[in-house]
Structure 1
């Protein structure tokens, strides 16, 4: 019997509850009152429950009715989302926006762009992977994402379609109370080698031969940049970090920018990368365009 339940009946239930009367629901839905009353009666018979107490002048939801009403709202909302999502796909949009982004990319900019995207495409599902070093390219090659944003310097690959997006400023930093913070600058190679360098490690085979900017003989390795930042602030060692991530800590006196004899920093080019022959849909293109606009500002 439950299979005969219809979305129209659920919408009528919601309308009666919202309007407080069968006549109000009839006006809202453009139906005659008798059709509304019959639909509610049919729904009650289908569920085997009394949804409204009709003993008063206006119908009042029963306890069962209030519970079913919450379920009805969820079902109708999910159905509306499904219809909108299907409509966007039929209109040419990708079924899902999937991307991998190196955490060196300015996350505040990405967050603002994705906020704007959620307003422009409210029913678009998003899968966002934040992976460092070879992670974005591995996800791209494995087909897990439509495109990736990362530094080609990490893998050196030349068989992909790339478009430059931004240069990210990187420079060496250390906790303000670390011994290196008091060393004469430029900090000599001997001093650098005597202290621990905090290094990101790659869990893919794409960068196994990349030594990176490792100058110290003592190295601690981390799988993600957020954890490395925590240990940097705690004074475990020094490392190169993106300016956008540490400038606030420098201004607050928690970190100090270092000038090393071997390195005073660099600018790392980050690219939008996709596989050749893989064309991006309108939502992906919209996001990339919005990122470019915000980065330009």
Structure 2
């Protein structure tokens, strides 16, 4: 409909919404700082050009007709779209990014991110957020190539700084009926090498040698911890898994933690990195501030400082 000309205006729909929300013309006129007669005229004109009745007066209250309920619901979507469009223009004029990307090392427990994301939804001015799972070299690529606005990583490339936000742990696990679970602990790497290892695929375009590979004779590669968990729980092989993935299965007895000679678990720190440095936009900085504010490590440090 390239030459279609709208019969109604956004202002008319805005007035209809106000009349309904305020329960009548008098309160709506006060809210919009307009005369009651102008609101009456706008709604009457809207009904006239549409050819349908939207409101009916019952006593002193204006109530929606069945048609009016449908039209009002759609008009709210239209008003929201226009608001978001104008907000986007304002954001771009102020240098506010319309879309940002957060790259997350897969060992990071996503539940720890929820409080920050809830705050970001409220204050992010409608900016779109893309969250991408990354592993090993793939995480470092996002930092070096500046292909993400924020990165949560367990290793810092040379020349980059990061804010510590959390510690991570990974346990070596298998099914309770797996042959490894029947051997005396602790288990040697030579014993492990005789069995199938499940590893997580490096997300880099040019992956480096995986740090978690224990030189097993057999190795199956999957793209996510959930798939690794499914395979290990079925009795296929062993794998390094973080507690947020494996904890429930271990509590239920469907996974067994293995004790490896010289290593009870794999652990380290997670850091928040802004790969673009000074070029980082205000929306990305807002999300970074929220992540740091809600970071378990930051909260723990604040509690220890208060106690001291």
TM-score category of the 2 structures, normalised to the smaller one: 0.7 to 0.9
Question: Per-residue deviation at 1:227?
Answer: 1.1
1:199-231 CA distance string (max 9 Å, x none): 112242342344643232111111111211121
CA contact (8 A) 1:26 1:36 kept: yes
Distance in 1 of aligned mates of 2:254 and 2:100: 38
Between stretches 123-132 and 65-74, larger displacement belongs to 123-132
> Which of 149, 153, 156 is equivalent to 1:150?
153
* Counterpart residue number, 1:195: 195
Question: Per-residue deviation at 1:91?
Answer: 6.1
* Counterpart residue number, 1:217: 217
* Counterpart residue number, 1:268: 268
Distance in 2 of aligned mates of 1:165 and 1:206: 27
* Counterpart residue number, 1:134: 137
RMSD over aligned CA atoms reads 3.1
> Which of 83, 96, 99 is equivalent to 2:99?
96
Provide the secondary structure at the position in 1 that maps to 2:259: coil
CA contact (8 A) 1:2 1:47 kept: no
* Counterpart residue number, 1:51: 54
* Counterpart residue number, 1:6: 9
Q: Kindly report structure 1 stretches of 4+ aligned residues shifted beyond 6 Å.
A: 54-57
Provide the secondary structure at the position in 2 that maps to 1:3: coil
* Counterpart residue number, 1:251: 251
> Which of 47, 66, 72 is equivalent to 1:69?
72
| Gap change, CA 1:293 and 1:223, over 3 Å in 2 | closer
Provide the secondary structure at the position in 1 that maps to 2:271: strand
* Counterpart residue number, 2:39: 36
CA contact (8 A) 2:199 2:219 kept: yes
Gaps of 5+ in 2: 301-308
* Counterpart residue number, 1:289: 292
Distance in 2 of aligned mates of 1:143 and 1:44: 54
Distance in 2 of aligned mates of 1:269 and 1:55: 65
CA contact (8 A) 1:12 1:36 kept: yes
CA contact (8 A) 1:147 1:272 kept: yes
Distance in 1 of aligned mates of 2:100 and 2:260: 42
Matches within 5 A, 1:226-237: 226-237=226-237
Distance in 2 of aligned mates of 1:231 and 1:115: 33
Distance in 2 of aligned mates of 1:243 and 1:58: 58
Distance in 1 of aligned mates of 2:39 and 2:107: 58
Is 1:279–2:280 an aligned residue pair? yes
Distance in 2 of aligned mates of 1:41 and 1:294: 60
CA contact (8 A) 1:196 1:219 kept: yes
1:227-265 CA distance string (max 9 Å, x none): 111212222111112234323332332222111236433
Question: Per-residue deviation at 1:39?
Answer: 0.8
Provide the secondary structure at the position in 1 that maps to 2:295: helix
Task: Give the TM-score taking structure 2 as reference length.
Answer: 0.80
Distance in 1 of aligned mates of 2:96 and 2:171: 40
CA contact (8 A) 1:141 1:275 kept: no
CA contact (8 A) 2:250 2:257 kept: yes
Question: Per-residue deviation at 1:88?
Answer: 5.7
